[in-house]
Amino acid sequence: MNFSAQVWNKIDNIYNSILIMPFVQELKSGLLKREIFQHYMIQDAIYLGEFARVLAIISAKAPEPDLQLQFANNVREAIIVERSLHENFFAKFGITIDHALATEPSPTCLNYTNFLIATAYRDSFAVTVAAVLPCFWIYSEVGKHIYQTAKIDNNPYQKWIETYADPDFEASVNYIIQVVDQQAKIASVQELKLMEQAFYRASQFEWMFWHSSEQLETWSIK
């Protein structure tokens, strides 16, 4: 079995827990509270800014030019596509840029992005690509699931839903899965373990990220 299939099996519980989260269920029905989506959007904008830096470090560590270019393109895409999504949603959901810029990362957002940045600086290309894979893959699977079962008419979250169910997005996810599998084939036993741990940890953070918005998480001491 491929590395990707093995680690996906291991996060089966996390993935299934995500599908039944109130956040996901209410996004599908369109009934998600505006306040929760606003919290999510602002934190996600912070997340994406840091995520683009992680992709840039991956590009810098790439073992060959094709991979270097691919991840450089991902950096560009993460910044451009996601920014436009956020700008659309910011306006639509009454979030001002000033408010977003003045908001600090939530404890979960900071923990997740710091984990990715620390991994990128400390660990190998292979381990770091394994750490970013859940970000792509879980979103693609959750996006498809939501798209197939969502109530689309009058759903204020329709545009978000369409973004992550896009076939182009799925193609970029498949490319990263293939890169991770290639790396796993040539990895030492010790490195494989680190890849597995990084993939699992990032998947936990994916669940936590949605959960933190459901809770409107802030710092418990200011």
Ligand X SMILES: Cc1ncc(C[n+]2csc(CCO)c2C)c(N)n1
Contact between 136 and ligand X per CB under 6 A: yes
Residues within window 145-204 making contact with ligand X, judged by CB under 6 A: none
CB-nearer residue toward ligand X: 25 or 172: 172
**1 CB-near residues (< 8 Å, 6+ apart):** none
CB closer to ligand X out of 8 and 209? 209
Q: Residues 46 to 105: which contact ligand X by CB under 6 A?
A: 47-48, 51, 77-78, 81-82
CB of 139 to ligand X, least distance (A): 4
Q: Which is nearer to ligand X, 111 or 197 (CB)?
A: 111
Which of 75, 120, 133, 135 is the binder for ligand X (CB under 6 A)? 135
Q: Where are the beta strands (DSSP E) in 57-151?
A: none
Calpha distance 207→196 (Å, rounded)? 17
| Cα of 194 vs its chain's centroid, Å | 19
The dihedral of CA 122, 63, 189, 198: what is its sign?
Answer: positive
Our CB check for ligand X shows the closer of 38 and 187 to be 38
Cβ burial, residue 40 (10 Å; 0-12/13-18/19+):
buried
By CB under 6 A, is residue 37 in contact with ligand X?
Answer: no
- Nearest CA to 188 out of 143, 118, 135, 126 is that of 126
Residues near ligand X (CB under 6 A)? 44, 47-48, 51, 77-78, 81-82, 135-136, 139, 206, 209
